[in-house]
Amino acid sequence: MFKFAIALLFIVLSMKPLFGQPSPTALTAGSIAAPAINATGIDLLHATSHVDQNALLSPYSIETALAMTYAGADGNTREEMARVLHLNAEATQVAGAFSGLQAQLDSMVQNSVRESEQMKKYEVTNEPMVLDVANRIFGEQHYPFRPEFLKLLKTSFDAPLEPMDFRNNPAGASKKINDWVAEQTRNKIQNLVPAGALNKRTGLVLVNALYLKAPWAEVFPERATQPLPFHVRGAETANVPTMYIQKSFGYTKTNGVTVVSVPYKGNDLQFLIILPDEINGLAKVEAGLTAEKLATWASLPNQQVKLFLPKFKMQPPTLPLGAALQKLGMTTAFDVPPGSANFDRMAPRKPDDYLYISEVFHKTFISVDEKGTEAAAATAVVMMNKLAMQPLAPVEVKADHPFLFAIQHRRTGTCLFLGHVVDPR
């Protein structure tokens, strides 16, 4: 039996609308794409993170990458992927939903650029938001991919095929893919594909790359930043650089948690702070996090808030997601049990020659300071071929102990990034 490998890599950088310009399908972005992205992100956060360590994922990058993989799945593999990825719709509806979501994100960036140009006329410096999403397919040059699959990914996900020689030069292919990812993410994501992850059986590497640079709607005054105590891991305290601002923010306090939304320029994107009332309450709050709560918190009533937020930067190592996805129920996609993987819509499946996922790699970066947020993410799926009432006075919110956070598109509730901070140092 001849086994062959497909690797799918995803980073979110400058993805274009899946089916052209916004259409009625854009309406499904909030009802299909966003809930699926957030639910999968929460599932994987639970499955891969520890409450005593910082954590960071890009639900948007992961779900987009796996949605493209899902387009090539069939039979029981397709059904399992639909359940695990919360894709409760027909394939065309899923594609339309992601297309509509990307169109809204593109529109958000375009509005930011127009606002920046307008402000320049008044000699006001106003940096626009940057959100780039890029997709690319690196496929074995001699493998018989179905034309319909390649066409769908090119037209719907703007992911053209670049022929590769995995069979004779897998190391060179890895370098080329990693270089592409680094370029798309302003060198924030490097060496996404680990050494030895690709070999002569690799058939396809589908890459999604994301880069975000978003200035706050109102910057935190640098002069107000000072060392303040933070309860590291909900226990001992350490002084960390902590920003301060008083402003009207989205705010709610309910069921043992305080939620504050800090808008980025243009007010279409926000940084969501989910702060447990208890100093060591992260585990309990995170266990109760749901996609429905994230959707509710996408639009919060305004309240004057005295906000203390630590500066932080995260750059975790490459995170393998294969075991977590299998634990969630996506087993046959990984050919468990042997012979069960079915990606017949990707390439003709034969008893002794078929594709299966060998691993899913994910890597992220984020930096939060007085000016705003810079973040990037990449996901690689490597496949093998086998053969309430507001108080009148300002409230004070001190993020001085472990908290959850999300970078969220307000209109749809989509979380581009999701994680928790237990040690900002």
Which whole-number Å values give the CA distances from 58 to 20, 42, 80, 183, 204, in the listed order? 24, 10, 22, 18, 22
Q: How far apart are CA 157 and CA 348, in angstroms?
A: 22
CATH 3.30.497.10 domain extents, the chain: 5-215+314-386
Tokens 């705010």 appear where? 251
Per-residue model confidence (pLDDT) at position 95: 77
Query: 17-31, 107-121, 258-272, 351-365 — which is least confidently predicted?
Result: 17-31
pLDDT grade, residue 123 (50/70/90)?
Answer: low
Q: Find, among 84, 85, 104, 108, the residue nearest to 96 by Cα.
A: 104
Which whole-number Å values give the CA distances from 298 to 19, 247, 248, 339, 410, in the listed order? 26, 18, 16, 43, 5
More confident residue, 262 or 135: 262
pTM for this predicted structure:
0.89
More confident residue, 5 or 309: 309
Query: 44-58, 109-123, 178-192 — which is least confidently predicted?
Result: 109-123
More confident residue, 27 or 60: 60
Q: How far apart are CA 395 and CA 402, in angstroms?
A: 19
Per-residue model confidence (pLDDT) at position 49: 92
| Residue 14 CA neighbour count, 13 Å, CB half | 10
Q: How far apart are CA 422 and CA 412, in angstroms?
A: 28
pLDDT grade, residue 113 (50/70/90)?
Answer: confident
Query: 115-124, 154-163, 281-290, 372-381 — which is least confidently predicted?
Result: 115-124
The 10s digit of each residue's pLDDT in 369-420 is: 999 999 999 988 777 777 633 445 889 999 999 999 999 999 999 999 999 9
**φ, ψ for residue 189, nearest 5 deg:** -115, 110
The continuous run of DSSP H or E covering 65 comes out as helix 59-70
CATH 2.30.39.10 domain extents, the chain: 222-311+389-421
Portion of the chain with pLDDT greater than 70, in percent:
90
Pick the CATH number of 222-311+389-421 from 3.30.460.80, 1.10.10.10, 3.40.50.1220, 2.30.39.10: 2.30.39.10
Per-residue model confidence (pLDDT) at position 235: 86
Q: Are 84 and 36 in contact (CB under 8 A)?
A: no
Homologous superfamily of domain range 5-215+314-386: Antithrombin, subunit I, domain 2 (3.30.497.10)
Q: How far apart are CA 127 and CA 124, in angstroms?
A: 10
Which whole-number Å values give the CA distances from 289 to 38, 125, 283, 402, in the listed order? 10, 38, 10, 15
Per-residue model confidence (pLDDT) at position 28: 61
The 10s digit of each residue's pLDDT in 58-106 is: 999 999 899 889 989 999 999 999 999 999 777 778 877 888 888 889 8
pLDDT grade, residue 114 (50/70/90)?
Answer: confident
The continuous run of DSSP H or E covering 316 comes out as none
